[in-house]
A and B are shown apart, each in its own frame.
Chain A
C-alpha cells in the first residue's frame, strides 16, 4: 500500500477492454539441415549423445525396477523411479545454453534434467575447473573412488562418468551419492553445475525456485533460474502463488534499483499427465497450458508452447527467453510439450491411456526422429550414432556395476555410526555475514527514526520500583527489531518480506522505521501468498542468502504447510549437510481475533524434524534469540505473541542490553526460583504463571521455580530436570490447546527423566480443545493463574481452602477425552 501508487477511480471507471497478444505455439520450424547454420555438426552430434545418455540412464533404472537386472547385472533398489523416458530432447534442449551460473530446480521426474544440465556444464567448463569441482566435492570422495576403478581418456569423460555415477549412487542410497544417498531419486542435485534440488512434492519447486531467482536478483548474481515442473503441478496453489510472486507489479513500479520481474523461466514439461490424470481436457481448465501466461501479467509471461521432442526447438526458445530475462523481462512461462513413454512410476499399468496414443508418440521418439534428421541432413553417418549408443551403453553398464557393488559403493554405515543422520539434521554453524557486498541501505543507522526512539526508552519495565509507562519502555517488538536492524547493516544478503511489512511496518509494527532504511529490494510487501513467502525464503536460503520472512498470524502456517514442514525443515538433512537454510520465519500467535487468528501452533512445528523453534516471552529473550537465529544457518520458526509486543522486560536485571548478545537456542530462562514446585511455561502464559506463583507464595507459603521455555527445539533439559529433582512437582502451562501440545511431550520426558523424584505426575495446563472464542471469553479458554492453582490442587498437592474454577479431576479428563474436546 505505498502512497506512491495511486489508485485512481477515474482510471478504474473507464470503459475499455483487455487485449492479449498472440501466444506462439510451436513456432520453431527449422529443419536439421537449416539448423546446421546455427550449430556445428559436432554440437549437433553431442546433443544427440546427451539424449542417449539420458535415455540409457533411465532405461537402466526401468530394467532394474521391473526386472532386477540391467545388461546382465543383477541389482535392485527399493526406492522410487519416476522416469521421463521420451522427454530427453526437452531436457537436453533446455540445458544446452545454460551454464553453471544458471540454476535449475526440478521435480520428482528430473533425472534427465540433472544429467542434461551437468553434461552441458561439463562441455562449457575447462578441465581445470572440472577437476577442481570433482576434487572438492564431498572432500573428493567420489573422485577417489573413480580414480581407483576407472581409467579415463579425458577430464570431460571423467566428469561425465562422475556425474552419472554420483546420480546413480544417490538413487541407490549409497554413501558416494551426491548427498550420501539421503536424498535419493526425487531429491538429487549437484550444486557445482547449478543443479539445485529436485522436489518430491508436486509443484514444490514452484515457490522454492522463485527464491533462487530472488537471490540472483537481490544479490546481483549472474545467471537465470529455471523452475522445472510438470503440467500436473499447475493444479497446485503454491505454483500459482509463485507465478504471481515472480511477476509482482512492484518489480517494475517500486524496485527502482533493481527493476524487472524475477529472472526465472517456469519450464513446464507438459507430458499430458499428472500421474494418470490428463491435464488438458480432464483435470485442468487451461486447454493449452501456455494460455496461463496471459492471466498472470501484461507481458503474458512471454509464454509460448514449444515442441519438446525437438531439442533444437527448445534451444531456440531458451535463446530468446534468456535474452528477455537479460533485459529484466522475466518471468517467462514455457509450455514444453513432450510425452513420457513409461508410466508415472514403474508400477504404473498405463490404464488411463490407449496403445494407439502411446504408439503415435513412440513414432515421434526423439531418439529415432532426431537421429534420422541428423543423418538425413548429413551431419553424421548413421554408424556414428551406433558408435555413440555403444559407448553410452558401455559406460552405463560399467557405472551400474560400480554403483551396485557394495564394496565400491557402500551404504552409509548406520550400524557403525548410528548418529550419522543425527549430525546432519542441523548445520549448527554460526556465519553472521553471508552476503559479503556492501549492504544496500538508504540512511545511516543512527538516522533511523526508530533507532532514535528506542534510544530514549527505558530498558527495564520498572524504574525506582514503579512501572515505566508503555510509551517510554523498551518492549518486545523493539527487542525483535534491534538485532534485525543491526543485521541489515551487516549482511548484504539479508532480505525481509511478508504481508504488509514495509509501509505498515508489519501488522504489529515490529518493522516500524525499517522502510526508511531499506530499499524495496531488501524489504518488500509480499502478496498474500504464504506458500510463496515461505517457499521463496527456502530457495533464497539454500542459495545461501539470509531471509527473514513473516506470516502475520501463526494460524496461516497451514497456508504454507508444505513449505514449512517439507521444504524449510528438510533440505539441510536431505542434502547431507551440503545445503544450509539461514531462514528465520517469524510468526505471531494472535490474540483477540477469534478462532482462525488466535491459536498457538508450536506443537505442529516442533513435531517436524529439522526446524528450530523459538518462542520468546520477554524482550530479553526475544533480542538474544533473534540475534542467535540471525547469526546461524538453520531454519528457525520464530513464534511471537500479540499479547507481548508491548511488554517491557520484567525479569532480567539491568534490563535488555543495548549491545548485541546471543541466547542459546535450547537453553531455558529461569525467571524465578523456589523450592516447592516447578512451573514451566511457553509463551505469554509466563505472566499467568508469575501471578500463580505470587498466590502460591502469599496464600499457601509455597515457593515456585518458574522456567520459561524460550525455545522448544532443540531443548536442553538440564535445568528443567534439576528443578524438578529439587521440587518433585511440575505443572506446565501454555496457550496452546492442551491436546498434543508440546508441553505434553515435555511432561512425558520429565516423567521418564525424573520418575523417582516426582511427588506427583506432571500436569499440563493448556487452552481448551475448542475453537478460540471471542476475546471476551479469553478467561474461559486460555490458562489463567487460577487454573494453574486448580491443577496443582487437584493433581499435585492439595491447597487448603483453594476454591477451584477449572476441573482437573480424572473423571473430567476422561469425559473430555471421550468427547474429543
Chain B
C-alpha cells in the first residue's frame, strides 16, 4: 500500500509552495522522517520529512514547481507498486475524516486521515503564528525554551489539545531551517536557508543562473511597486557634522557605557525627535486617499543582511533615551542579521531610515517602503568649507536625502522637516537636553 506524501501547509495563509531540492530520487529507500525535499514559501525554506517507509517510487513535481498545499508530491511504497491513483494533483482530503475505529467513550485527539487502499498522511501542519498559545505541559514549555521553539507555531497533539513534549520535538525538527518566522528561532540559520534554497546550474554557457530566493522576490516586487505606484521625489540637504563627530568621539572615550553609541544612533535619535514634530511625514497613505498619522514614531531601519534587505522596526523610538535607542538599534540589527527576528518586528514602521554613509555613498535616492510616505537616506561624510568669522573653515558635512510621496506631502513641509532635522543634527547636544 503506497503512501502519498503531501505538500505541507506551512501556514494558514500559505496556498502553495515551491519545491526546492529533491534529496531523494525515485528508487531510493526511505525511512520515516527522512528528508525528501526542500520547499519554500515567500518567507522561508522548509524540509519535508517522509511520512512513510519504503522506497520513493515516483516524484510528481520537480524542483522549481509551485505546488498547491496538501497536494500529493510523491509516492512512497514498495517498488513496483502502482501509484497512479495517487497522482491526482489535488488534495485527496481537505478535512480529517473520523477514525475508522469505533469511537469509544473518549475520542483520540489525533485523527489520522485514512483512505481505503492508499493512506495519505501529512506531517503536522505548521500553524501560522496565531499569537494564541493553548495548554502547554510544563515539560513541553521547558523544552521549547531550551530549543527556542515559539509555542504559538506548535501543533498540539496531547490530550485535550495540550502541547506536549513530542510536539516541541516535532516542531524543532520541522522548522529547523525556518527563518525565525513561523517557529524555531535559531542563530545562524540564514546561511543554511540560502544554501538549501533551490539552485540550478545551467551548464557551460559562461554564466550561471540562480533562481531568486523567495525573499529576494519579495523585495523585488515591493521595490517595483513603490517606484511604479508612488509619486516620489527626493530632496537633498546637508548638515555640519562637527558636533555629531565630537560627541561620538567623547562617547567612545567616556568609558561610561556610552562607547557603543554610533553616529547612526545619533542620526536615528535626531530623526525620531524631529519627526515627532512633523506628523505628516510620520504617516502612512492608506488606500491612496487616507493619511494615517501615528502617535509614536516607529522607525524602520534598513539593515543589510546575508539574505537581503530587512527593515526591522524600532517602535516608539521618540520615547527612548539615546542610550535606549542605541541598544534597541543594535538589538534589532543583530536579530535581523542573525535571522532570529520576530516577524512582528519586520512590520509596522511609520518612517524609514536607510543609512549608506559607511559605504561611502555621497548621494542616493532611497525608495519609499509603502504605505509609508517618506524615507530618509543618510549619506557619507565629506569635507566642506564654510565662512566663519571672515575665515574659510573646513568641516565634515553629512548628506541627507529625503524621499517623500508627493501624493501625501508637499515640497515645503517635506523641506521644513529636512531643514529641522539638519538643524537638530548640528545641535544634537542641545536636542539631547531639550527633552
Residues on A facing B (Cβ under 8 Å): 728, 755-760, 790, 793-810, 812
Which of chain B's residues 94-108 have a Cβ closer than 8 Å to chain A? 99, 101-102, 104-106, 108
Q: Is B335 an interface residue (CB 8 A)?
A: no
Residue of A nearest to B99 (CB): A801
How many B residues touch the partner, as a band? 20 to 34
Q: Tell me the smallest distance from the CB of A370 to a CB of chain B, in Å.
A: 76
Residue of B nearest to A756 (CB): B138
Contact call A757/B159, Cβ cutoff below 8 A: no
Q: Is B162 an interface residue (CB 8 A)?
A: yes
Contact call B106/A804, Cβ cutoff below 8 A: yes
Complex CA–CA separation, A809 to B157 (angstroms): 16
Complex CA–CA separation, A812 to B106 (angstroms): 10
Contact call A800/B108, Cβ cutoff below 8 A: yes
Contact call B105/A797, Cβ cutoff below 8 A: no
Complex CA–CA separation, A790 to B164 (angstroms): 18
Contact call B165/A803, Cβ cutoff below 8 A: no
Residue of A nearest to B112 (CB): A800
Contact call B106/A807, Cβ cutoff below 8 A: yes
Interface CB pairs A-B, < 8 A, 9: A758-B139, A759-B137, A759-B140, A759-B158, A800-B110, A802-B108, A807-B105, A809-B105, A812-B105
> Please, which residues of chain A bring their CB within 8 A of the CB of B221?
none
> Please, which residues of chain B bring their CB within 8 A of the CB of A802?
108
Contact call A759/B164, Cβ cutoff below 8 A: yes
Q: Tell me the smallest distance from the CB of B160 to a CB of chain A, in Å.
A: 7
Q: Is B347 an interface residue (CB 8 A)?
A: no
Which of chain B's residues 253-290 have a Cβ closer than 8 Å to chain A? none
Partner of A756, one of B101, B105, B142, B164: B142
Complex CA–CA separation, A288 to B176 (angstroms): 92
Complex CA–CA separation, A790 to B105 (angstroms): 10
Contact call B164/A760, Cβ cutoff below 8 A: yes
Contact call A798/B159, Cβ cutoff below 8 A: yes
Contact call A759/B165, Cβ cutoff below 8 A: yes
Complex CA–CA separation, A807 to B105 (angstroms): 6
Residue of A nearest to B168 (CB): A759
Q: Return the CB mask of B129-161 against A: 1 if under 8 Å, else 0.
A: 000000001111110000000000000011110
Q: Tell me the smallest distance from the CB of A72 to a CB of chain B, in Å.
A: 65
Complex CA–CA separation, A797 to B159 (angstroms): 6
Known: A797-B158, A797-B164, A803-B101. A757 touches B142 (CB 8 A): yes
Residue of B nearest to A810 (CB): B160
Complex CA–CA separation, A528 to B134 (angstroms): 60
Known: A756-B139, A759-B165. A793 touches B105 (CB 8 A): no
Contact call A798/B109, Cβ cutoff below 8 A: yes
Contact call B101/A757, Cβ cutoff below 8 A: no
> Please, which residues of chain A bring their CB within 8 A of the CB of B158?
759-760, 797-798
Partner of A796, one of B110, B157, B159: B159
Q: Is B416 an interface residue (CB 8 A)?
A: no
Name 16 extra pairs, CB < 8 A, besides A756-B139, A757-B142, A797-B164.
Answer: A755-B138, A756-B141, A756-B142, A759-B137, A759-B139, A760-B137, A760-B164, A797-B158, A798-B108, A798-B158, A801-B108, A802-B108, A803-B104, A804-B106, A809-B105, A810-B160
Complex CA–CA separation, A304 to B169 (angstroms): 84
User: When A and B form their complex, which 4 residue pairs have the shortest distance between CB atoms, in order from nearest?
Assistant: A807-B105, A759-B139, A728-B139, A759-B137
Residue of B nearest to A801 (CB): B101
Q: Tell me the smallest distance from the CB of A517 to a CB of chain B, in Å.
A: 55
Contact call B166/A794, Cβ cutoff below 8 A: no
Interchain pairs with CB closer than 8 A, number: 68
Contact call B159/A794, Cβ cutoff below 8 A: yes
Q: Tell me the smallest distance from the CB of B318 to a CB of chain A, in Å.
A: 41
Complex CA–CA separation, A757 to B164 (angstroms): 11
Q: Which of A758, A760, A794, A796 has the most CB of B within 10 A?
A: A760
Residues on B facing A (Cβ under 8 Å): 99, 101-102, 104-106, 108-110, 112, 137-142, 157-160, 162, 164-166
> Please, which residues of chain A bring their CB within 8 A of the CB of B166?
797
> Please, which residues of chain A bring their CB within 8 A of the CB of B104?
803-805, 807
Contact call A758/B105, Cβ cutoff below 8 A: no
Complex CA–CA separation, A804 to B106 (angstroms): 7
> Please, which residues of chain B bring their CB within 8 A of the CB of A810?
160
Contact call B106/A793, Cβ cutoff below 8 A: yes
Complex CA–CA separation, A809 to B106 (angstroms): 6
Q: Tell me the smallest distance from the CB of A667 to a CB of chain B, in Å.
A: 26
Contact call B109/A760, Cβ cutoff below 8 A: no
Known: A756-B142, A800-B112. A794 touches B106 (CB 8 A): yes
> Please, which residues of chain B bring their CB within 8 A of the CB of A797?
158-159, 164, 166
Q: Tell me the smallest distance from the CB of B420 to a CB of chain A, in Å.
A: 54
> Please, which residues of chain A bring their CB within 8 A of the CB of B139?
728, 756-759
Q: Tell me the smallest distance from the CB of A749 to a CB of chain B, in Å.
A: 16
Contact call B164/A808, Cβ cutoff below 8 A: no
> Please, which residues of chain B bring their CB within 8 A of the CB of A795?
159
Complex CA–CA separation, A799 to B159 (angstroms): 10
Complex CA–CA separation, A416 to B106 (angstroms): 54
> Please, which residues of chain A bring their CB within 8 A of the CB of B165?
728, 759
Contact call B108/A793, Cβ cutoff below 8 A: yes
Complex CA–CA separation, A756 to B136 (angstroms): 11
Q: Tell me the smallest distance from the CB of A520 to a CB of chain B, in Å.
A: 57
Residue of A nearest to B164 (CB): A759
> Please, which residues of chain B bring their CB within 8 A of the CB of A800?
108, 110, 112
Complex CA–CA separation, A800 to B106 (angstroms): 12
Known: A759-B165, A793-B108, A798-B108. A728 touches B137 (CB 8 A): yes
Complex CA–CA separation, A360 to B105 (angstroms): 76
Residue of A nearest to B110 (CB): A798
> Please, which residues of chain A bring their CB within 8 A of the CB of B140?
759
Residue of A nearest to B100 (CB): A801
Contact call A757/B138, Cβ cutoff below 8 A: yes
> Please, which residues of chain A bring their CB within 8 A of the CB of B112?
800
Q: Tell me the smallest distance from the CB of B48 to a CB of chain A, in Å.
A: 21
Q: Tell me the smallest distance from the CB of A514 to a CB of chain B, in Å.
A: 50
Contact call A803/B102, Cβ cutoff below 8 A: yes
Q: Tell me the smallest distance from the CB of A809 to a CB of chain B, in Å.
A: 5
Residue of B nearest to A809 (CB): B106
Q: Tell me the smallest distance from the CB of A674 to a CB of chain B, in Å.
A: 15
> Please, which residues of chain A bring their CB within 8 A of the CB of B101?
801, 803
Residue of A nearest to B137 (CB): A759
Complex CA–CA separation, A807 to B101 (angstroms): 16
Residue of B nearest to A802 (CB): B108
Residue of A nearest to B142 (CB): A756
Residue of B nearest to A799 (CB): B108
Complex CA–CA separation, A809 to B141 (angstroms): 24
Complex CA–CA separation, A605 to B110 (angstroms): 42
Q: Tell me the smallest distance from the CB of B231 to a CB of chain A, in Å.
A: 58
Residue of B nearest to A763 (CB): B159
> Please, which residues of chain B bring their CB within 8 A of the CB of A755?
138
> Please, which residues of chain B bring their CB within 8 A of the CB of A799?
108
Partner of B137, one of A758, A790, A805, A809: A758
Complex CA–CA separation, A772 to B108 (angstroms): 30
> Please, which residues of chain B bring their CB within 8 A of the CB of A803?
101-102, 104
Q: Which of B104, B106, B109, B165 has the most CB of A within 10 A?
A: B106
Residue of B nearest to A728 (CB): B139
Complex CA–CA separation, A597 to B160 (angstroms): 39
Complex CA–CA separation, A583 to B109 (angstroms): 52
Residue of B nearest to A794 (CB): B106
Residue of A nearest to B165 (CB): A759
Complex CA–CA separation, A801 to B101 (angstroms): 7
Residue of B nearest to A812 (CB): B105
Q: Tell me the smallest distance from the CB of A42 to a CB of chain B, in Å.
A: 80
Residue of A nearest to B167 (CB): A759
Contact call A804/B105, Cβ cutoff below 8 A: yes
> Please, which residues of chain A bring their CB within 8 A of the CB of B137?
728, 758-760
> Please, which residues of chain B bring their CB within 8 A of the CB of A801?
99, 101, 108
> Please, which residues of chain B bring their CB within 8 A of the CB of A808?
106
Complex CA–CA separation, A798 to B142 (angstroms): 21
> Please, which residues of chain B bring their CB within 8 A of the CB of A760?
137, 158-159, 162, 164
> Please, which residues of chain B bring their CB within 8 A of the CB of A793?
106, 108, 159
> Please, which residues of chain B bring their CB within 8 A of the CB of A756?
138-139, 141-142
Q: Tell me the smallest distance from the CB of A617 to a CB of chain B, in Å.
A: 29
